[in-house]
Structure 1
Amino acid sequence: MSHTAQTDLRIRRTHKFLQEAMIELIAEKGFEAITVGDIAERAMINRATFYRHYQDKYDLVAGIFEETANYLMEHMNPMHKDPAEKEAEIPPEIWVQFFEHVADHARLYKAMLGNNGSPWFAARMREHTIKLMLEKEKSMKQLVAPDTLTASAMPEGLALTQLSHVLIGTIVWWLESEKRYTPKQMATWFHRFAFYGYLSALGSETPTPRKK
């Protein structure tokens, strides 16, 4: 193994130790109460080593978010859904993948989005999911004829913001229920809510869900 490869491996290992320490400490005492000293002690490194990698605990949280956000963007497949399909019971694959990712990183999301977590992380998650929703929005709008819009439509930005809060709340509820439901079930329920609630908020006369 080359010296560069060994250095990269040490950096990744240090980042992993620090991130794991952060997640454990958030669950135990809450994000606001955590100090750099706490993180370094739990990760079994000295403070100087911490500051070689991160400026402070907020920078560490930013690093955790960037890794998870990059994973989502790199590994999620495009949505595949027949534009003529008006049934909200079959969620696009992108939402199934999203909830599968949350399940795979349950400790992270439960710590960072829960009552003891980081409001900054939650806000960044909402911003990121809005980007996903903007992509989904294109396919949803194809399902509604322009002449079905009503005069009661709310601003699009407000509808997206509300929906992003719903998604984060759904994730927290799911993780706190110890994931008794599958990622596909959660994706289906969230998509059903988004399909009807979001389009209705934008002033579209959406169809009533059909029973199987």
Structure 2
Amino acid sequence: MTDARILRTRAALHKAITELATQKPVGEITVSELAESAGINRVTFYKHYTTPAEALADALHTELKDIVAAAAPAPEIDAFTHCIYTALDHLEERRELYTIAFSDQVDGTIPIMLSRFLTEVAETYLTKRRKRKPAVPDVDLDVAAAFLANGATGAIRVWILEGDMSRERFFENLPLLLPAWFQAEAAAN
């Protein structure tokens, strides 16, 4: 069981870093600024993270995991697409932060975090699909999962930065972009 003080400190850091990252790129946030905003000292910060970018990635990854875990499964779509659909709630809620992060040409923390998160989801889904009919083609699951996740991350980046594409339009496009073998498996669910 994790110490309550550690949980409180992490929560304060997550709140502070997401607020600061809504104002400017994470690469411009200093440890001193983050520690002060979280109500802790620098030494305490370094007991948890090495950089503000690491704290931001952890905060957003945790939020995404919790949101997806709490969402009721949608039987009409595959688990990977459902995860993206559910994650869009989080992305819309934090659109300012993601707009800054996806616009940042120097720091790739958030696109990398999102890609890793979606890769984990895709790997889990594809591993389960291998056990059912129709089977996943004989591809390396880690390669297929990374391909799907990075494509989805790129599409999400466009959706965030263009700002004029509706959620519905995003999901009209998604099935057209997924590989045919993935569609066959989704239809079989």
TM-score (ref. length: structure 1): 0.61
> CA, structure 1 residues 92+23, in 2 after alignment: closer, same or farther (shift >3 Å)?
closer
> CA, structure 1 residues 162+63, in 2 after alignment: closer, same or farther (shift >3 Å)?
closer
CA shift at 1:108, angstroms?
2.9
Residue 122 (1) aligns with residue 111 (2): yes
CA shift at 1:173, angstroms?
0.3
User: Which has the larger share of helix?
Assistant: 2
**Counterparts of 1:40-189 in structure 2 under 5 Å?**
43=37, 49-53=41-45, 54-55=48-49, 56-81=51-76, 93-116=82-105, 118-137=107-126, 138=128, 144=134, 155-182=140-167, 184-189=168-173
> CA, structure 1 residues 117+141, in 2 after alignment: closer, same or farther (shift >3 Å)?
farther
Where relative contact order (Cα < 8 A, 6+ residues apart) is larger, the structure is: 1
TM-score (ref. length: structure 2): 0.67
Deviations 1:170-194 (A, max 9, x none): 1110011114312x33133223312
Unaligned runs of at least 5 residues, structure 1: 84-90, 207-212
Deviations 1:30-79 (A, max 9, x none): x33442234457x396xx53543444324422432343233234223224
Q: Is the 8 A contact 2:119 2:146 kept in 1?
A: yes
The residue aligned with 1:86 is none
Deviations 1:136-158 (A, max 9, x none): 43459956478xx6xxx653322
Q: Which amino acid aligns with 1:69?
A: L
Unaligned runs of at least 5 residues, structure 2: 185-189
> CA, structure 1 residues 174+39, in 2 after alignment: closer, same or farther (shift >3 Å)?
same
Residue 23 (1) aligns with residue 22 (2): yes
| Matches of 1:82 and 1:62, distance apart in 2 | 28
| Matches of 1:111 and 1:135, distance apart in 2 | 30
RMSD across aligned positions (CA): 4.1
Q: Is the 8 A contact 2:71 2:86 kept in 1?
A: yes
SS of residue paired to 1:25:
coil
Paired residues, what number? 177
CA shift at 1:126, angstroms?
1.5
CA shift at 1:134, angstroms?
3.0
> CA, structure 1 residues 195+142, in 2 after alignment: closer, same or farther (shift >3 Å)?
farther
> CA, structure 1 residues 76+187, in 2 after alignment: closer, same or farther (shift >3 Å)?
farther
- Matched residues, percent identical? 13
